[in-house]
Structure formats: structure tokens, C-alpha cells
Amino acid sequence: MTTLSFALNHMTAPALPLHEFFTLAQSLGISAVEIRNDLAGNAIIDGTPANQVKALAEKHGLTIISINALQRFNDWNDDRAREAEELIAYARDCGARALVLVPVNDGSGQKDGERQASLRQALTALKPMLEQVGIIGLVEPLGFEICSLRSKAEAAEGISAVGGEGRFRLVHDTFHHYLAGEEKFYPEITGLVHISGVADAGITVSEMRDPHRVLVDADDRIDNAGQIERLRTSGYAGLFSFEPFSPAVYQRSDIGTALRASMEFLAAGA
């Protein structure tokens, strides 16, 4: 089997300015990155023009695979439409291939029937907006019990219902897949995999939150290695993007060394 292809999400080192983050990726031999619109004092939120981001990525030999993310995408309204329009334009102008779509995660919109209709409404509205600029929408179900879209099966059904197979893909997030307790994999419509591990032995599955998400190593409780193997043997040949959220990771002064160790650990099992 071919070697793993890694990408790097800016959440891995959110305090780094964009040029330092790009240098970090380059130093690890990683050529694909995800930039974010939720990092204060950093591009995109600091007003850095998209063409500057594009030039900086090209200077470092990097592909921007996604902007992460349009939040609450399945709560579609005029405000969401404006946010989507702005982010899609930014993605186009910075050279990003995709826009991550994150669902409502506050306990609302969970009723059966309501959540499926909300998903279809949002996908129907987003489809022509994305098509116009040739960008993929990456739908990312979240495994948290309060989330309005926990299931990849439901996301896949929604994509199919709007005829969106050519414009939307799933994000398989190893953390959220484990939390949701979902058995089925969807390699044929998976556009990106987010990887992070949980090593804390003192928490239950229902207690797992973003700050528990660390780099994957031998102490991983959520079977990243098994999930990666399953995805690859069933046909997924795309990128595996590091997306830890723990301060124990992003506050490290040796983040490059830690990332390289995780890459080597995962590659050894591939």
C-alpha cells in the first residue's frame, strides 16, 4: 500500500502567523494545509487579503486544501448566506480547493425530520454558490451528543437527495466518528480525513471534548490506526489532516518534532 499523505490544519499551531505555519508544514515535507477563519490575530480573521495568502502558499510550495469553516451551515438564513458568499469568494481568491461545512452544535435543530430538512435546505442553497467557483463543500458531521448532524449516513443521504455528489464530500473526522459510534465508512464520498487522538484514560466517551484531542501515538484510545486502515483498504486515497485541539499540543515549543513523531508512528502502521 502507498504511504500516507498528510496535511496540516492551522489548529495544530494556531498561535503561529500564517508564514510560520506554512514554514512548519514545509519543514515536515507536508504540501497541503488547511487555513481557518476562527483564529484571532491571524489570517483570515485579521483581514489579510486572499491574494496575499495565495502568494504565500505558492512561495512555500503548498496547496490550500480547505478553509475551515462555515459554522452552523445547516441553520440556513440570510446571515449564513452572506457568510457563505464571503468565505467562498475568499476560498476562490486564495486558491483553496474546498470549504468545510460545520453543523449547529448547541443542542438545537436535532428533531427527526427537522434536521434532515435543514440539511437539505442548506445544501440546496450552497450547491450553486460552490459550483460557480468550482469549490467543494466538505460536510463534517460532529459526534457530540448535542450536534444537529452526528451521522455520516445522514449527511450522505442529504447530499444524494439534492444531487450534490459532484459538489459535496464528507469529512471523516476520526474523533467524531468514534464519538458518534458510527460503524459505516463512506470512502467513495470522503473528501478529507481529520486525525487526532485521545490519550486521557480518565474520561468516558461522552466526556470527550476538543481539548482532549492530541497527536496520535501509542496511547490513542479512539483507534485512529484502525480507522485509517479501514479507510485506505476500502478505497480512500486522499489526505489525512492533523487537527488536534489540545493546548498540550499547540503550546509545545517543539511542535515540529512532535508532529514528525506522530507521522512516523502512523506511517509505521500503514
Assign domain 6-269 to its CATH superfamily.
Answer: Divalent-metal-dependent TIM barrel enzymes (3.20.20.150)
69's grid cell: 469553516
Query: Which residues, 6 or more positions from 242, have their beta carbon under 8 angstroms from its beta carbon?
Result: 6, 7, 8, 9, 12, 195, 196, 215, 259, 262
At residue 2, the pLDDT reads 63
CB 165 within 8 A of CB 139: no
CA–CA separation, 70 and 83 (whole Å):
7
pLDDT in tens, 127-173: 999 999 999 999 999 999 999 999 999 999 999 999 999 999 999 99
Domain residue spans in the chain? 6-269
At residue 172, the pLDDT reads 98
pLDDT cut 70: percent of the chain above it: 99
pLDDT in tens, 190-240: 999 999 999 999 999 999 999 999 999 999 999 999 999 999 999 999 999
Please identify which residue in the block is written with the cell numbers 463543500.
137
CB 76 within 8 A of CB 122: yes
